[in-house]
Amino acid sequence: MKLAGAALRLTIFVGDTDTWHHKPLYHEIVHRAHAAGLAGASVFRGVEGYGAASHIHTTRILSLSEDLPMAIVIVDEAERVRAFLPELDELMSEGLVVVDEVEAIRYTAGGTAG
């Protein structure tokens, strides 16, 4: 089965050393997204990047391999994504959050639409 429609993509950029109560921040964000009933969340580790401080972080140079970029991507209905944003206000001290409109196509096995 194939379901399609308008959605929001929430992309959260943090460093892999960012923490929340001694646990990785990306871990806490994913678990809160799950608890909020969002459709899904994926975490991607960057191999190179820089942010507001303009320091390049890369896996190619051992001395700079700390605090690699992480991206958490969540796609769901607009109302559900917007309702989740206050959670990030509590968790984020630095980083970047991008919200953009997308058209989502979801493939599911069996069943009927509705």
With respect to residue 60, please indicate whether it lies within any of the assigned structural domains: yes
Q: What is the tens place of the pLDDT at every residue in 42-63?
A: 999 987 777 666 666 665 555 5
Residue 86 CB coordination number (10 Å): 9
Q: What is the tens place of the pLDDT at every residue in 76-106?
A: 999 999 999 999 999 999 899 999 999 999 8
With respect to residue 97, please indicate whether it lies within any of the assigned structural domains: yes
With respect to residue 113, please indicate whether it lies within any of the assigned structural domains: no
Three-state DSSP state, 23: strand
The runs of H, that is alpha helices, within the chain are 25-35, 78-91
Q: Is the dihedral of CA 82, 83, 89, 92 positive or negative?
A: negative
Model pTM?
Answer: 0.82
Domain total in the chain = 1
| Phi (first) and psi of residue 6, to 5 degrees | -70, 145
With respect to residue 112, please indicate whether it lies within any of the assigned structural domains: no
Q: What is the tens place of the pLDDT at every residue in 20-47?
A: 999 999 999 999 999 999 999 999 998 7
Q: What is the CATH number of the domain that holds 9?
A: 3.30.70.120
Q: Is the model's pLDDT at 65 over the cut of 70?
A: no
Q: Give the domain range for residue 50.
A: 2-107
